[in-house]
Chains A and B, each alone.
Chain A
Amino acid sequence: MSRIALQLLFRRVLLAIPILLCVSALVFVILRLLPADPVAMSLPPGATAEDLAKLRQAFGLDRSIPEQYLIWLGKLLTGDFGGSIYFRRPVLDLVSKALPATIELVFLGLVLGVALGVAGGLAMFAWRGRAGEQVLDLGTSGLMAIPEFLWAILLILVFGVALPILPFIGRLSPGLSLPPPVTGFLLLDSAITLRLDVLGSALRHMVLPATALAIGLAPLVMRVLRSSLMEVIQEDYITQARLRGIPEHTILVRHALKNAALPTISLIGVQGGFMFGGTVLVEMIFAFPGMGNLMVDAVRNHDLPVIQVVGLVYCVLVLAINAVVDVVYLMANPKLRTA
């Protein structure tokens, strides 16, 4: 990695600090302003109003919001992420178990979305001015009009029920057990431990949820890539390449695509962040044990410590994706490297 890229990464990390502070404060305050009390809603039969007051005190909920925030932040900075009110377990423990599943799912969703998007964008470009382009254009409008959770349900009904060829519950088939944890990432662990049956099952279980996520990204990539290619193809260097007799597909892949990819890379960065948000409903529908599912449980039970940390982790992930995309953009764009 070049020195400029490292500098960029460093700047991104520095910038992330105030962003994370703002996001954490915002989430914290909004949650406290809601008329819900996580302690009150989890009181057992036999508890009294005095018990409620004592518990609120024990969880620090009787203090002012700024005071609560500073205490929480202070603990967070020392590595204490707090304990879940609903699960009665350390938040860090819950998040560390759920996060790898979501990262794997989003990664697969991104790969699938980019692959479909690039293939579709190239097809649209190749068929420009023809019926094929119109059909694909119409198709992308349809894909974008339907939200991810609806795609999730449609995919289940088509590939899980009508044509029962793909699983849609959880991460593994019932007969299979988890490989011993090495990295915490199921795909990696099953590959490392040579549990190919688990690897195959895990991948099959990810096809539908990853596709539901990818469908949100692919049409955007297709359209942006097609537009970029249309612009790039008008450039003088493309005309000169044609005059030199370079075959059309070589011009497209080696010259046009490289330059047309830049706006697409920026788009992937933005959409990658949205994709993490999309996991909340998609994971719930596919019973996928990731951060989205954890967030649903936490929100339902107003589990403030979990919501705060999960919200912050989502923010970190989005910032990380943007940083990576910035570096990729920098590497792909020679003009920026010399700037």
Chain B
Amino acid sequence: MTDIDRRSLLKLGAGASALAALGVPTQVLAQAAAQGQLTIAFPSDVPTWDPNARSLAAVQSLYKCIFDQPLTQNPDITVKPALVTKWGYVDDKGLALAFDFRSDVTFHDGSPLTAADFRYSFFDRPRAPVPEGGRKLDTSFIWRKIKDIEVASPTRAIIHFTDPMPSAVAWMYFLTSYVVPKAYLEKVGLDEFQKKPIGSGPFKLVEYQQGARAVLEANPKYFDGAPKIGRVTIEFVRDPTARVAAIESRRVDCAIDVPVREAIRLGTVQGLTTSIDAISDITLLQITKNGGFADDRVRLAAHHAINKEAISKALFGGAAKPISVPAAHGTSGYPEDFNFPFSEEKAVALLKEVGHGPQNPISIKFASPNGAFPNDFDAARAIVAMWKKVGINAELETIELSTYQERLRAGTLPEATYFSWGNAAGDPELYGGYLLDPKSIFSAFKTDDLAPKFQPLLVEMDEKKRLDGYKAAHRYAAEKGYTIPLYQTVKTTVHVNTLKVTKYDNGLTLPQGWTKA
């Protein structure tokens, strides 16, 4: 080695030492920028790596990285084959649903995925006894109508239902419907499985620190083609300000669910791209017949008085698409020919009929979470101001989401509650079927005349009749003042320009389809 070489080396060493002393995270920055590697700031961690256990919408993207579902969705949320190539009812009563599985799918340990794994995931596991104080898998509630799953061959299974379940196909690409490896799970047990989960998905989980991060590596044998990005690090960053800082400092390539105002600002920063999109989740006011909302005309006036377009422009950059019924535009239960108009005149007229107006306002209570959904409390305050203009005096209170379901069950929710409802599948049963059927534990407005509108649809196997039925029932509920839908929920993503992101209309974050220059 020459003197010059030595000197260069010393200079390099000194430079590196200086950087190290300063604490410059050169590895972080280099890795974030490296090709074939991706770092995402994601707002939620999975509670468990058992994908059949919890029906949490916020973490479905993570499960879909590791596990596969029988069916999946295109970016426009239309159904797409996944583990299954063909599916359909094989009887005339809608009680036998057959699936033909691909023969080339393997789990991450190399073992083949067969119809037996499907039966294990959808029939055996949900029915397995639970220890004292334990809890059944969520799949045991969802698939309770399954009488048996017949494994006709390694690539064919037939579900036999006790009663018709018209949403069964939609559930095959919705919450908890993942196929897990029977042999591996039985061999290692649930505890070990949760530490080292194995699926057949596009990525393998190679490292996991609860509450901190998950490191995924592309599955080279993935049946739908290996992901283009070889290694994905998902940093669980709960705090939205920290997610903004992470993408702004380029410590991550992509940040999910950034506050809308920040997303708009970051969109103007060189090298970053912002997406603010309406997704299939909806935001609505869960209303009751309590207090001032006992009269239909007051509820209808309250609905007419809300200028959804204005709220969308002011708080969501215009991206929150107003809705007239509790469903997302473009989904099969949305009556596109129906519009519930914003009309202060109509609101004033309706209130006048019940003896109220701006000078003599009717008082109601209105609850909203603060920070649980995008711009929730700001939107609620805007609604209060709009109501005040027509003669509804709303007392706004903050509600914790942890108390929402209990108050819903106990019937102690106020007249209106600002709420967001997730439905990545887009099936109408998962909108009105849950939100408006008076028998549903998720419905707030209990009225007998809604039961015959929705309950027959829960077993209607004629798909056209079913979808038309939901459109009509959704419309009926809005026209009668049984629901006040607001707009489609907004999803924000900010990423570096070198990253090509595939956006899904249901808001899922699926890096398996992304590329990085």
- Assuming the contacts A167-B25, A169-B242, asked whether A287 and B237 have C-beta atoms less than 8 A apart, the reply is yes
- Please provide the 9 A-B residue pairs with the shortest distance between their CB atoms, ordered closest to farther: A44-B138, A289-B211, A289-B212, A302-B402, A44-B55, A37-B406, A174-B233, A41-B405, A40-B405
> Is A301 interfacial (CB-CB < 8 Å)?
yes
In the complex, how many angstroms separate the beta carbon of A199 from the nearest chain B beta carbon? 12
Residues on A with beta carbons closer than 8 Å to the beta carbon of B144: 46
**Contact A167–B406 (Cβ < 8 Å):** no
The stretch that binds B, out of A47-55, A233-241, A265-273, is: A47-55
State which size class the interface on A falls in. 35 or more
**B111-160 at interface with A (beta carbon < 8 Å):** 132-135, 138, 141-144
> Is B28 interfacial (CB-CB < 8 Å)?
yes
In the complex, how many angstroms separate the beta carbon of B299 from the nearest chain A beta carbon? 25
> Is B285 interfacial (CB-CB < 8 Å)?
no
Alpha-carbon gap, A131 to B90, bound state (A): 89
**Contact B23–A165 (Cβ < 8 Å):** yes
**Contact A47–B402 (Cβ < 8 Å):** no
**Contact B251–A167 (Cβ < 8 Å):** yes
B141 interface neighbour in A47, A58, A98, A176, Cβ under 8 Å: A47
> Is B48 interfacial (CB-CB < 8 Å)?
yes
- Assuming the contacts A88-B53, A97-B210, A156-B242, asked whether A287 and B235 have C-beta atoms less than 8 A apart, the reply is yes
**Contact A171–B28 (Cβ < 8 Å):** no
**Contact B249–A160 (Cβ < 8 Å):** yes
B23 interface neighbour in A86, A166, A288, Cβ under 8 Å: A166
Residues on A with beta carbons closer than 8 Å to the beta carbon of B407: 35
**Contact B251–A51 (Cβ < 8 Å):** no
In the complex, how many angstroms separate the beta carbon of A142 from the nearest chain B beta carbon? 21
In the complex, how many angstroms separate the beta carbon of B70 from the nearest chain A beta carbon? 18
Residues on A with beta carbons closer than 8 Å to the beta carbon of B45: 297
Best-surrounded residue of B24, B27, B32 (most CB of chain A within 10 A):
B27
Alpha-carbon gap, A16 to B48, bound state (A): 34
**Contact A285–B28 (Cβ < 8 Å):** no
> Is B331 interfacial (CB-CB < 8 Å)?
no
- Chain B residue with Cβ nearest A201: B27
**Contact A46–B141 (Cβ < 8 Å):** yes
Contact with B along A201-243 (1 / 0, CB 8 A): 1001001000000000000000000000000000000000000
**Contact A41–B401 (Cβ < 8 Å):** yes
**Contact B239–A41 (Cβ < 8 Å):** no
> Is B403 interfacial (CB-CB < 8 Å)?
yes
**Contact B23–A42 (Cβ < 8 Å):** no
**Contact B239–A285 (Cβ < 8 Å):** yes
**Contact B27–A169 (Cβ < 8 Å):** no
**Contact A165–B237 (Cβ < 8 Å):** no
**Contact B402–A45 (Cβ < 8 Å):** no
**Contact B211–A297 (Cβ < 8 Å):** yes
**B13-71 at interface with A (beta carbon < 8 Å):** 20, 22-25, 27-29, 31-32, 37, 39, 41, 45, 47-48, 50, 53-55
**Contact B25–A284 (Cβ < 8 Å):** no
Interface majority SS on A: helix, strand, loop or mixed? Answer: loop
- Assuming the contacts A44-B141, A45-B175, asked whether A36 and B406 have C-beta atoms less than 8 A apart, the reply is yes
A178 interface neighbour in B31, B135, B209, Cβ under 8 Å: B209
Contact with A along B253-297 (1 / 0, CB 8 A): 000000000000000000000000000000000000000000000
In the complex, how many angstroms separate the beta carbon of A177 from the nearest chain B beta carbon? 6
> Is B514 interfacial (CB-CB < 8 Å)?
no
> Is B213 interfacial (CB-CB < 8 Å)?
yes
Residues on B with beta carbons closer than 8 Å to the beta carbon of A83: 133-134
* 19 new A-B contacts at CB < 8 Å, known A40-B405, A43-B441, A164-B249: A36-B402, A36-B403, A46-B141, A88-B47, A88-B53, A94-B210, A153-B242, A161-B249, A164-B24, A169-B41, A169-B237, A169-B252, A174-B28, A174-B32, A177-B215, A207-B23, A287-B237, A289-B212, A300-B401
Alpha-carbon gap, A123 to B487, bound state (A): 59
Best-surrounded residue of A37, A44, A294, A296 (most CB of chain B within 10 A):
A44
- Chain B residue with Cβ nearest A167: B25
Residues on B with beta carbons closer than 8 Å to the beta carbon of A300: 401-402
Residues on B with beta carbons closer than 8 Å to the beta carbon of A169: 41, 235, 237, 242, 246, 251-252
Contact with A along B153-189 (1 / 0, CB 8 A): 0000000000000000000000110000000000000
> Is B207 interfacial (CB-CB < 8 Å)?
yes
> Is A200 interfacial (CB-CB < 8 Å)?
yes
A175 interface neighbour in B27, B143, B237, Cβ under 8 Å: B27
Residues on B with beta carbons closer than 8 Å to the beta carbon of A287: 211-212, 235-239, 242
Residues on A with beta carbons closer than 8 Å to the beta carbon of B24: 164-165
Alpha-carbon gap, A156 to B209, bound state (A): 22
Alpha-carbon gap, A250 to B441, bound state (A): 75
- Chain A residue with Cβ nearest B41: A169
Residues on B with beta carbons closer than 8 Å to the beta carbon of A42: 54
**B71-95 at interface with A (beta carbon < 8 Å):** none
Contact with B along A261-293 (1 / 0, CB 8 A): 000000000000000000000001111111001
- Chain B residue with Cβ nearest A175: B31
